Copies of this chain bind each other. A is one copy, B any other.
Amino acid sequence: MIEEKPRISGEMTGEGGTAVPAALYLFPVPLSDSSKIGDVLPPANAELLRGIRHFLVENVRSARRFIKRVDPSIDVNLMTFTVLDEHTRPEEVESMLEPLQNGEPMGVISEAGCPAVADPGADAVAVAQRRGLKVVPLVGPSSILMALMGSGFNGQSFAFNGYLPIEAPKRAAKLREMENRIRRERQTQIFIETPYRNNKLIAELSRSLPGQLRLCVASDITGKGERIVTRPLSQWAKANYDYGKVPTIFLLFN
C-alpha cells in the first residue's frame, strides 16, 4: 500500500532543502513577464524552490531567470539544471531522475505555465510514476484553464486539442469534428495557434464555421494586456482586433 505523507512538508528550513521530502515537484511558471509573482504563485512554491537542488528544465536560462524572479537571494549556481525539452528522447529521461531515485527532491520547470500540460515534462512524470516515485503538482497559472474559466463556456465537458493541423484537408476535418463535438456532446473545444497566425485563424474560423457558434479569444492571460472576449463568430467577422504578437487561447462553443 501507498504510505500517506503530508503533501508539502511543514518543516522546511529554507537553508539547503534537506527538509523537502523526496518527490518530483512540478513548478508552474508565470505566463507573462509583466505579471507579479504574488499575483500568480502561492508562497509555498518559493519555499519549495529554496529546498530543491536538482531541476529538469525546458530551458536553462529561463529556468534560472524564473528562480531569480521568485527569490533573488537563491544561489542558482548551487543548483543543477538538466534540459528536458521536445528534443529529449524518452530513453534519455530515465537517467535524469537519478537524484530522486537516491532520495533527493527534484523540480520540473517549463518555459511558461504548467509543466506536463501542453509543455514538456510529462515524460519525466511518466517515468517517476512507473517507478513508484512520488509526484507533486503545484498550483500556478494555466492559460488553458484560466481561458476556460473566463470564456463562459461549458466547464463540465471540454477538450484541449493543442495546435490545429496545418494541411488544409486535415484542418477542415478537425474543424468539422470540433463542431460536431460541440453540438452532440456539448464539449467546449480549446486550441492554440502560433501567435503570428492568430488573426488569420480568427478570420478562418469566422468564414468556415456557423456564425452563431461562439468564439472566445483569451490573450495575454495574467499579463498587462489580458483580454478574454467571447462573441458569436458572426460578430468576430466584423470586429477589429490584433492578436498578432501575444500568446492566445481559442475556445469554441454553442
Bound complex: CA A153 to CA B123 (Å)? 8
Closest B residue to A45 using CB positions: B39
Contact A228 B137 (CB under 8 A): yes
A142: CB under 8 A from chain B? yes
Within 8 A of B (CB), among A179-234: 187, 216, 221-231
Interface bits A1-37 vs B (CB < 8 Å: 1, else 0) = 1101011100000000000000000100000000110
This chain: copies in complex:
2
A248: CB under 8 A from chain B? no
Contact B156 A136 (CB under 8 A): no
A155: CB under 8 A from chain B? yes
Contact A227 B2 (CB under 8 A): yes
Given contacts A40-B44, A118-B156, A129-B230, 15 further A-B contacts (CB under 8 A): A7-B224, A38-B42, A42-B42, A115-B149, A119-B155, A121-B155, A122-B154, A126-B152, A129-B231, A135-B228, A137-B228, A139-B139, A156-B162, A157-B160, A159-B187
